[in-house]
Amino acid sequence: MKKYLYATLFFLFMLSSCEDYNMDRTIFVPDEFDPTLPAYTEWGYNSFGAIYDRNYFIVSNGIVPCKITYQKGMLNFYLIGKIEQGAYRNMSLTFSFPSPPINDYADLIKLNNIDIDLTDASCLVKMEIDDNEEIITPINGRLSFRRAQLLKIDGVQNRVILSGVFELRFLRKDRPEIISDGRFDVGINNDFYCFPE
């Protein structure tokens, strides 16, 4: 309980400073049951994590954890971090899916309470490990935006906080693999890009 109190106090301190740099930093609040993963939160901690088979795909302080692009009716949601496979390696997951028009980061609130079936033919999932990118075809999987909220500081729009969960099962080189217990809590403003049609 003390961990959550300290994390909340730290977050409120960051809000009071009103500096974008502090708002863009990653805050890693360990999960109560698996402290290697971040806890599920809806505070804009710029954190994410998942279990990839028996390894952990997690946020890294030296990398922007999430970027979003919108182009030709498709929203691309990038989670960018590290995976420990003997040594830490760069890894990213990209979820692409049809979306109503998103012209500005504030429009991302349209994702509130939206579930994406990753097996739908209109969706695309890419995984990249150390610059080796591949398209993966989920056997089953979902991406759920449980909450999308617009954050204002001193009455000025600052970012959209996206919080949710994800999981998928897929074949990779004819071998079944799983990404489970995925969760994200990210603040998006400058990391949103809309490309003209």
Question: E strands within the chain?
Answer: 47-52, 55-58, 66-71, 74-85, 87-98, 114-117, 124-129, 132-136, 138-153, 156-172, 175-188, 192-194
Cβ burial 24-45 (10 Å sphere, 16+ → b, else e): bebbbbebeeeeebbbbbebbb
Residues 65-108: tens digit of each pLDDT:
999 999 999 999 999 999 987 788 999 999 999 999 999 999 99
Q: What pLDDT, on a 0 to 100 scale, did the predictor assign at position 87?
A: 83
Amino acid at 75: L
Separation of CA 175 from chain center: 26
The overall pTM is greater than 0.85: yes
Range with lowest mean pLDDT among 2-16, 41-55, 138-152, 166-180: 2-16
Domain locations in the chain as residue ranges: 2-194
Residues 51-62: tens digit of each pLDDT:
999 999 999 998
Residues 152-194: tens digit of each pLDDT:
999 999 999 999 999 999 998 889 999 999 999 999 999 999 9
Cα–Cα distance, 93 to 102 (Å, whole number): 21
